[in-house]
Amino acid sequence: MRQSAGAEGTQVGGVSVVVPTFNEAGNVGELIRRLAAVLDPDRSEILIVDDSTDDTAAVAAVQSGQLPHCVDIVHRDEPVGGLSGAVLVGMGLAVHEWVVVMDGDLQHPPEDLPRLLAAGESRGADIVIASRYRDGGSAGGLDGSVRHLVSTASTLLARTLFPRRLRECTDPMTGFFAVRRESLDLKAMQPQGFKILLEVLLRHQLTMTEIPFSFGVRSAGASKATLANGSAFLRQLVTLRLQPTSTVRGAAAVEVV
């Protein structure tokens, strides 16, 4: 279905890349260019779901016009569900076997995308999580000690509230993962805030694997983390804890490279 993933210079196919963006005009052009370098233009698509108040959509359109790849840009005037809602829109539009979700700020390296797909294919997983906290990974791109502390505390809280479902997931807060489209029940998802992976993991029963990755340093723009985001995360945890989860297929399992 795709060329062998992971070899230097190889372009991968069978993948829809969903990128939610909010005021990433300084990063989105470079992101699209780097994604195009690893994606087969005939068997992939890039879906930019944009909630910006700046020129992100316009910059994305200019860059995509210079490439042979399929790049769809959806601008939402009413960003229902925040970042998670944007990802859900992208998932609903995706047409390929694998859906890769990643941020638009270049802190998730596009060059790691072939490793995600290779791990999913070789291990028969439904979802592949790029973890900052597996051996070989790094959270060095987090800005300052406060963000490191918040990230660690949020991960600990989520794993404490869901000890069985998240026991093998070292980084449930990451926004960088690949999931088989057929494994998703989009109607079961009720996104809010910005931690979409929790929705995917806790509303589905998926075979899971992880790969380590290094969280990069933001080169342009500012972090979107706010107190409002933190409040939305807490509400999301409460909602997920109180509501029954749905299952799609498989039992949780994990491997690491």
Residue 257 lies in a domain: no
User: What pLDDT digit, counting tens, does each position of 98-149 carry?
Assistant: 999 999 999 999 999 999 999 999 999 999 999 999 999 998 776 555 566 6
Residue 248 lies in a domain: no
Residue 158 lies in a domain: yes
Residue 167 lies in a domain: yes
Beta strand 15-21 with 98-101: parallel, antiparallel or unpaired? parallel
Q: How far apart are the C-alpha atoms of 65 and 60, rounded to whole Å?
A: 9
Supply the CATH number for residue 55's domain. Answer: 3.90.550.10
Q: How far apart are the C-alpha atoms of 254 and 257, rounded to whole Å?
A: 10
Its pTM stands at 0.84
- Sheet containing 208-212: give its strands across: 71-75, 44-50, 15-21, 98-101, 177-180, 127-131, 208-212
Residue 144 lies in a domain: yes
Domain tally, the chain: 1
Band (162; pLDDT cuts 50, 70, 90): confident
Q: What is the domain range of residue 37? A: 15-242
Residue 6 lies in a domain: no
Residue 4 lies in a domain: no
Residue 8 lies in a domain: no
Q: Which residues lie below 8 Å from residue 188, measured CB to CB, with a gap of 6+?
A: 203, 204, 246
Q: Please state the rounded mean pLDDT for residues 32-57.
A: 97
Determine what percent of the chain is predicted with pLDDT higher than 90.
58
Burial of residue 188 (CB within 10 Å: 0-12, 13-18, 19+) is middle
